[in-house]
């Protein structure tokens, strides 16, 4: 049977804490013999998801849970916060032409995560936001 390894962590809101999650993910990949170039894009995914969770969730006691599940075929990244949630339908699609002429250059994280994932699921309600990203490793 395909070996599945899991890493679960609860991140406090301190500077650069997403690097701890990335380090853990890299260790798992090394253990599994997954080459660095296969895991490189996942660094961006983890960074965007964790930063969004701390920055936008508006949690009173800010913690973010991160879970990695990995086998030789795929990596699943789960990130959740316990904040106010949001409706992704209300988030305006970023448009590069408009952004170039605007002072508001942000708003790319969700789009980037979606386009770099092999599967991207977002669930959000008043109990918080959960993101599940699948990245194929083969
Ligand atoms: N975990 C979350 N909780 C609540 N709202 C969120 C969450 N993640 C995203 N959002 C909402 O979706 C919007 C778009 O997120 P996105 O990551 O695309 O852009 P951004 O974070 O504003 O800018 P960027 O990621 O480019 O620095 C955010 O501005 C916020 O309103
Ligand atoms: Mg963002």
Neighbours of 62 (CB within 10 A): 17
Atom of ligand 1 nearest to the CA of 94: 18
Write the residue with the smallest CA distance to atom 8 of ligand 1: 52
Q: Is 1 a residue whose pLDDT tops 60? A: no
Other Cβ atoms closer than 10 A to 16 = 8
Residue to probe by mutation, ligand 1, list 90, 107, 127, most atoms within 8 Å of CB: 107
Q: Which domains does the chain have, with CATH numbers?
A: 5-136 (3.30.565.10)
* Dihedral angle sign, alpha carbons of residues 81, 60, 110, 51: negative
Indicate the pTM of the whole model: 0.94
Q: Which residue's alpha carbon is nearest to atom 22 within ligand 1? A: 107
Which atom of ligand 1 is found nearest the CA of 53?
A: 1
What's the count of helices (H) and strands (E) in the chain, helices before strands?
4, 5
Q: Which residues pair with 10 in a beta bridge?
A: 65
- Residue 18 Cα, ligand 2 centroid: separation in angstroms? 13
Mean per-residue pLDDT for 132-136?
Answer: 97
Of 129, 105, 120, which is closest to residue 52 (Cα–Cα)? 129
Read off the pLDDT band of 52 (50, 70, 90).
very high
Judged against a pLDDT cut of 90, whether residue 137 lies above it is answered with yes
């Amino acid at each position: 049977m395909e070996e599945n390894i899991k890493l679960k962590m609860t991140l406090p809101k301190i500077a650069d804490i997403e690097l701890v999650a990335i380090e853990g993910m890299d260790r798992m990949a090394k253990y599994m013999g997954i080459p660095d170039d296969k895991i490189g894009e996942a660094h961006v995914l983890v960074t965007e998801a964790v930063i969004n969770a701390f920055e936008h969730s508006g949690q009173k006691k800010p913690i973010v849970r991160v879970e990695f599940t990995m086998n030789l075929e795929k990596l699943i990244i789960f990130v959740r916060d316990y904040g106010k949630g949001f409706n992704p339908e209300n988030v305006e699609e970023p448009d590069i032409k408009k952004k170039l002429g605007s002072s508001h250059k942000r708003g790319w994280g969700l789009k980037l995560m979606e386009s770099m994932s092999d599967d991207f699921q977002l669930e959000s309600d008043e109990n918080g936001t959960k993101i599940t990203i699948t990245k194929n490793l083969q």
